[in-house]
Structure 1
Amino acid sequence: MGDGLDLTLLDGAGLAPSDAISFFRQKALLPSERFGEVMGEAHARAFTVAGATSQALLNDLKAAVNTALTSGTTLADFRKDFDRIVAKHGWEHGSDPGWRAKIIYDTNLATAYAAGQYAQMATPEARDIFPAWRYRHHSCPHPRPEHVAWDGLVLANDDPWWDTHFPPNGWRCHCTVEPVTRSDLRRNNWTISEAPALDLRPWRNPATGKTEMVPKGIDPSFDYNPGKAWLEGRKVAQAKQAPLAPRTHIGTTSVHHVPPVEREAQQAQDVTELLKSGARGEVTAGTLPHEIQHVLGSSTPDIFLSHDTLSKNDPRHPEMFSDYVKLPELLQRPLIAQKLPKPLHVRLISGLGGKLYNLVIKRTRDGQRIYLQSFLRTRTEEVARMLRQTEPFYHQDFDLSDYDEN
């Protein structure tokens, strides 16, 4: 069921726009066991296929989709690549191969084209020329009533409705958005309307068991604007590359622009002050590599350490307090990062001075902050076990034999 018409909009469409290709290629590989683990805007930064838990498998699937984007591979050609990849990795995906190949091909291409189009339409010059955007539904055998109702809707190009309703708005949805000039408005007697009210409906996430609210007419995990999420993530990445570093003082927040070489020293000093004072508050304890921030979907790379986290480790692990001042270096240069079953949680394994550390971080639901949840020393055999159980999405070359047993 969906808004596609035999994939005429995408099947073998030829070379994709450069922005669409850039959007797709920047995605990091993110293994997942089932649908619902990776939702919404996280898809703008990560390539994930439900049930694909191997980095190697995901890498091959992403390469096949990339070929479809850059060479105009048809669905039939992609199906051949899909069957070859499944056989190579022995992947038991538990669904009809033709249907699964179609979903992967269709969803990734539609999302990439939409993100590329948004990138072109959202420039200041384009927004000035095209003050409005028009929603277009394309006829299909089994249309969604809501998508049909939205056909022809003209809204301002900065209307918040586009944040959740910029297509694709579901599996096999091939609705599109067309830019509208002032001349178009006059010639067609169109008026810029008010956005329809959001009609949120409850949906139970099968991976988390939690109930989430999804706009009516939009499939779960499609209620976001892929192009906007991508561009905002790129701005964060560019800001991180600048020689700036935020500093959070106990109880207050103030930003100081300091050179990168001084950032870790300043963060270590702030952590020390929090440890000594015992005051309630939080400080910036470290800065994540961009690749990990990207997968977490956070608007900031900074990791915050709170008094609450410190209190949880006292008095059970008093030996760890002398290690807290190492956090800036440990967070900036982790050895591996693994996605945890809990949503928005990531485990980092870092090493320093011949010792290994297990750090768990969590992103807030609004994406504005990342907090250190736990911080413990770990053993080489524990790290080896973790690597056997779950493949990391971020991995630096290192040798476990370089670390002692703590």
Structure 2
Amino acid sequence: MGAVYGLAKDFVFRAAVEFLKGKKVLTKEEYKFLDAESRAKAFTVSGYTSLGVLQEFLDCLQKAAEEGTTMGQFRKDMNRFLEEHGYEGLNPWKSDNIFRTNMQAAFNAGHYKSMTDETAMRLRPYWRYRTAADGNVRESHAVMEGRVFRADDPIWDIWYPPNGYKCRCMVVSLTRKQVEKLGLPVETVVPHGVDYSTGEIIPAMPDKG
């Protein structure tokens, strides 16, 4: 079983690298005119307009996915490049934001690709939404914690993470036996929440942050 898991893990890493390599650098001004589908294939960093600088950001992120570069090494590499080209280096907060947001998106994309493989869908047809389960989880994301839906349920078109800024949520695939053993109900209805401005009960939607 370990070998199978290892192969799946390698597949996720390769798919994450492919996801980043498929990105096209754009300025923030160009990015804001894109629709959601096009944005998924674009890459930009706030505060930079040079395509050369943006490409270096993307290259360093690709290196991190391929070689397991740490966030600290990413900041060191980028700061060396930025300072050599007359820019101020990244502070820890900004480098953390850029690194975590993009790496989380890449690995979730890789994870999604592995889970939607034909064999995986047949053997593990249920998906469970998991949050980081700490005090920093958005209230709108917490409403989905632990819920199980079929892998082909349309809810995942809306709720598959990451769901916005620094989202740490993930989806775990399950077999029928795992669902039964854990006593998890397989839901078919989107959970509901309250629109606090009107008091209206509405379908829960992820807060993008």
Report SS of the residue matched to 2:168.
coil
The residue that corresponds to 1:218 in the other structure is 207
Asked whether the equivalents of residues 20 and 112 of structure 1 are also in contact (C-alpha less than 8 Å), the reply is yes
1:239-267 CA-to-partner distances (Å, cap 9, x unmatched) read xxxxxxxxxxxxxxxxxxxxxxxxxxxxx
Of residues 152, 158, 161 in structure 1, which corresponds to 2:146? Answer: 152
Structure 1 ranges of 4+ moved more than 6 A: 198-201
Letter aligned with residue 169 of structure 2: C
Structure 1 residues 73 and 16 mapped into 2: Cα distance closer, same or farther (>3 Å)? farther
More strand per residue: 1
Aligned CA distance change for structure 1 residues 128 and 15 (closer, same or farther; 3 Å): closer
SS at match of 1:155: strand
Relative distance call for 1:15 and 1:160 in structure 2 (3 A) is closer
Cα separation, 2, equivalents of 1:216 and 1:43:
20
Which structure's relative contact order is higher, taking Cα pairs within 8 Å and 6+ residues apart?
2
5 Å-filtered alignment, 1:2-401, equals 17-33=13-29, 36-38=32-34, 40-91=36-87, 97-197=91-191, 216-219=205-208
How far the C-alpha of 1:53 sits from its partner, in A, is 1.7
Partner Cα distance (1:70, 1:112) in 2: 11
Between the two proteins, the alignment pairs up a number of residues equal to 192
Q: CA deviation at 1:129?
A: 1.0
- Residue 197 of structure 1: how far off its partner (Å): 5.0
Q: Which moved more, 1:175-184 or 1:45-54?
A: 45-54
Query: 1:35: how far off?
Result: 7.6
Residue 199 of structure 1, CA deviation: 6.6
What SS does structure 2 have at the residue aligned with 1:133? Answer: strand
Q: Match of 1:58, as an amino acid?
A: L
- Of structures 1 and 2, the larger Rg is shown by 1
- Does the CA-based 8 Å contact 1:134-1:155 persist in structure 2? yes
Per-residue deviation at 1:105? 0.4
Return the alpha-carbon distance in structure 1 between the equivalents of residues 120 and 69 of structure 2.
Answer: 30
Structure 2, unmatched stretches of 5+, are: 1-9, 196-203
Give the conservation status (yes or no) of the 8 Å contact 2:128–2:174: yes
Change (3 A) 1:141 1:73: farther
Q: Deviations over 1:144-198 (max 9, x none)?
A: 1222221110011111111121111122211110001111121112221024257
> Aligned AA for 1:157?
A
What displacement does 1:132 show?
A: 1.1
Higher helix content, 1 or 2:
2
Letter in 2 for 1:126: A
Q: Determine if contact 2:124/2:175 at 8 Å carries over to the other structure.
A: yes
1-structure distance, mates of 2:91, 2:194? 33
Question: Relative to structure 1, is the Cα distance of residues 111 and 144 closer, same or farther in structure 2, using a 3 angstrom cutoff?
Answer: same
Please tell me whether the aligned partners of residues 16 and 113 of structure 1 are also in contact (alpha carbons under 8 angstroms).
yes
- C-alpha distance after superposition, 1:313-332 (max 9, x if no partner): xxxxxxxxxxxxxxxxxxxx
Deviations 1:52-87 (A, max 9, x none): 221111111111111111111111111112322332
The residue type equivalent to 2:39 in the other structure is H
TM-score by length of structure 1 reads 0.43
- Equivalent residue of 1:187, what SS? helix
- Write the distance in 2 (CA, Å) between the matches of 1:197 and 1:34: 36
Is the Cα contact below 8 Å between 1:131 and 1:181 reproduced in 2? yes
Q: Residue in 1 aligned with 2:6?
A: none
